[in-house]
Homo-oligomer: A and B are copies of this chain.
Amino acid sequence: MTKSSDPLVIFTPSGKRGHFPIGTPVLSAARKLGVDLDSVCGGRGICSKCQVQPSYGEFAKHGVNVADYALTEWNAVEERYKSKRSMLDGRRLGCQAKIQGDVVIDVPPESQVHKQVVRKRAEARDITMNPSTKLFYVEVEEPDMHIPSGDLERLVAALRHDWELPDLEVDFSVLPILQPALRKGAWKVTCAVHLGDHTVSPRIVHVWPGYFEGSIYGMAVDLGSTTIAAHLCDLRSGEVIASNGIMNPQIRYGEDLMSRVSYSMMNEGGALEMTNSVRDGMNALFVQIASEAEIDPTMIMDAVFVCNPVMHHLFLGIDPFELGQAPFALATSDAITTRSQSLNLKIHPAARVYLLPCIAGHVGADAAAVTLSEAPDKSEDLVLLVDVGTNAEIQLGNKDKVLACSSPTGPAFEGAQISSGQRAAPGAIERAEIDPVTKEPRFRVIGSDLWSDEDGFTDSILSSGITGICGSGIIELVAEMRIAGIVDGPGLIGSPEQTGTTRCFLDGRTHSYLVYDGTADGGPKITVTNRDIREIQMAKAALYSGARLLMDKFEVDTVDRIVLAGAFGAHISPKHAMVLGMIPDCPLEKVTSAGNAAGTGARIALLNTEARAEIEETVRKIHKIETAIEPRFQEHFVNASAIPNSVEKFPILETVVTLPDLNFNTNGDTEGGGRRRRRRG
């Protein structure tokens, strides 16, 4: 059809090129070449999504801008869009500008359908926009008494003809609005279409009269046992429009998952009660975020949920009973695409929502989301991926193989079951250092940027005062106590005599360490007790043992890098984690935090449906290890309770004196510690 004597058109950045007859619209040329140039209206000069930037370049002749003669003249449609909306100088509408001569045409990022959403971390892959639900503008044939087809059937035919969509299903909620929309729009409508996946067929979700100017939205939700965090994303640009979080209202049925499982076992209808509670909370959060973003909640046309298996089941309305006992059988493990109404979500009634697959009975859709975000299965080097929470989900792998397990760390890492422990909230000690010589502590509390020994600290802390120690604070304190020689390897706090500081004091049969005494001002006395040390030892031993078990299965003794995920992971100091022996030895610069990787995974799945198919396939390939039935796990656990203090590995601690190998275990108080050997090399 095209001849080499026809004008040559080159698109950037794709580099795709071809010859096209004079008069070919730029949009048509782009489509023929498979160039990623957006259009909602199908080239009718309505949507202005196909803006392109004709450029100078190799064709520039005699100093004249080729764009001036290589394309047809600026026309009235373009003038209207320029005056109505922001259209940069030099931009043209791809559907209006027609080729007249050789030209280089740049497709700016915002005109690409598959825009890139850039992620902040250097090592993270960008997200390519390819959402589940897209907008399509069509002109529908008017009804004809001689060929009495339904309005819907003619709409479906138009979508098939203009957009090459398959014969679409229609959501039941569209039926009542279809005829008024077609007539109000004079047989022109914009459809939101869910494009389907391997479990559901493509379907019309909504219809607007005429060309719909607005955008549609999706929610990426990290449904945790403690908190529900959600990001509202624009499904066209990929931008996060608003974010917020609330406490999971199920907290009132038990702080940890097992107490919720118990609640459902002990109370008739308890599971249903918890299901309703989390769905109500979800709806409240959605309304709040939509209100912040100033959008109607019915404009939310997709949502992706990631959660641990118990929350997964409770959210779906399944009693989590079986997850509380071996063999920890999931009711369903595969990814789920379902209608928002199945979950009583108050977003668009026809919206379909997606839950990532669960990896195993203890390794949920949240772990799958971490996998999607951090992609251990695409890593060249061997990466250990740890999502720390009440349970730690641990993955170890590279592009050849990924192993996964869950380890019951308990709530100590979240500040629970610690004598002065509390949630991460203003007033909580979140960072700490102990002078190895004076054994005096300094710390920072949430809400202030100053250390406790800096000028103005007292004024800087909020009215809450200093209230307790949160998860990252207790980890740093215990690690610092070990570095400073206040705690020995097996985990005993020394006496004032042994440690040379009166901050150590007899507290029952063991000693405690005084971090802060606010009693003079009516505040709390914040200490680290020997029982606190034990709790941290148990938790870190569980975490370490899980990682170590996967390393055994992988037949390696070291890993190339470690990624800490989870909101808590973001606050853990890698140095202190390694001092404690939470994680295997690894060069410190190879330990990074991925922040809320589960939430990021949810956002990826929201913005790119191909990523859903990808993670489903990946999850099928992950080798699942059940710690509960692995004898090696118990063995590692017993060996991992000691606190190693690999202090010499941290050259940044130059002032630290080398300490004797402390062992305070003189009074026979073992608390189980006596059975523990020091962790092996």
Contact = CB atoms under 8 A, between A and B. Distances in A.
Interface string A138-174: 0000111111111111000000000000000110100
Interface of A: 142-153, 169-170, 172, 175-176, 178-180, 199, 201, 316-319, 321-322, 326-334, 338, 342, 358-361, 624, 626, 628-629
Contacts of A331: 150-152, 175, 178-179
A338 B148 contact: no
A256 B189 CA distance: 33
Given A172-B342, A199-B169, A146 B330 contact: no
Contacts of A153: 332-334
A145 B326 contact: yes
A318 B178 CA distance: 9
Nearest to A147: B624
Given A145-B629, A179-B322, A150 B327 contact: no
A360 B175 contact: no
A272 to B, nearest CB: 8
Contact of A176 (B201, B318, B334): B318
A319 B172 contact: no
Nearest to A316: B175
Closest 4 CB pairs of A and B: A150-B333, A143-B329, A148-B360, A152-B332
Contact of A329 (B151, B176, B199, B360): B151
B143 A334 contact: no
Contacts of A338: 172
A31 B147 CA distance: 46
A333 B317 CA distance: 36
A544 to B, nearest CB: 22
A328 B145 contact: yes
A334 B333 CA distance: 36
B332 A151 contact: yes
Contact of A145 (B317, B327, B333): B327
Contacts of A199: 169, 201
Given A152-B331, A153-B333, A170-B332, 4 more contacts: A145-B361, A145-B629, A150-B333, A199-B201
A366 to B, nearest CB: 16
Contacts of A146: 624, 626, 629
A138 to B, nearest CB: 16
A179 B321 contact: yes
Interface centre among A148, A151, A179, A360 (most CB of B within 10 A): A148
Contacts of A176: 317-319
Interface centre among A147, A334, A629 (most CB of B within 10 A): A334
B628 A330 contact: no
Nearest to A628: B145
A330 B175 contact: no
Nearest to A156: B334
A150 B318 contact: no
A149 B327 CA distance: 11
Nearest to A155: B332
Contacts of A151: 322, 329-332
Nearest to A171: B342
B628 A150 contact: no
14 contacts: A143-B327, A148-B333, A150-B330, A150-B331, A150-B332, A152-B332, A152-B333, A153-B334, A175-B318, A175-B331, A176-B318, A176-B319, A178-B332, A180-B319
A147 B624 CA distance: 7
A73 to B, nearest CB: 42
Contacts of A150: 329-334, 358
A323 to B, nearest CB: 10
A622 to B, nearest CB: 10
Contacts of A327: 142-145, 148
Contacts of A328: 143, 145, 148
A337 to B, nearest CB: 10
Interface centre among A170, A175, A338 (most CB of B within 10 A): A175
B626 A148 contact: yes
A356 to B, nearest CB: 13
Nearest to A625: B146
A319 B178 CA distance: 10
A145 to B, nearest CB: 4
A319 B321 CA distance: 46
Contacts of A172: 316-317, 338, 342
Nearest to A317: B176
A327 B145 CA distance: 6
Contacts of A342: 172
A144 B326 CA distance: 9
A331 B178 CA distance: 7
Nearest to A338: B172
A175 B329 contact: no
Contacts of A321: 179
Contacts of A318: 175-176, 178-179
Nearest to A359: B148
A175 B151 CA distance: 36
A7 to B, nearest CB: 45
Contacts of A170: 332
A334 B149 CA distance: 8
Nearest to A180: B319
Interface centre among A178, A331, A361 (most CB of B within 10 A): A331
Nearest to A334: B153
Nearest to A272: B176
A110 B331 CA distance: 37
B319 A179 contact: yes
A318 B322 CA distance: 44
Nearest to A150: B333
Contacts of A179: 318-319, 321-322, 329, 331
A150 B355 CA distance: 14
Contacts of A169: 199
A178 to B, nearest CB: 6
Given A175-B316, A317-B175, A148 B332 contact: no
Contacts of A319: 176, 179-180
A308 B149 CA distance: 15
Nearest to A629: B145
Nearest to A358: B150
Contacts of A330: 148-151
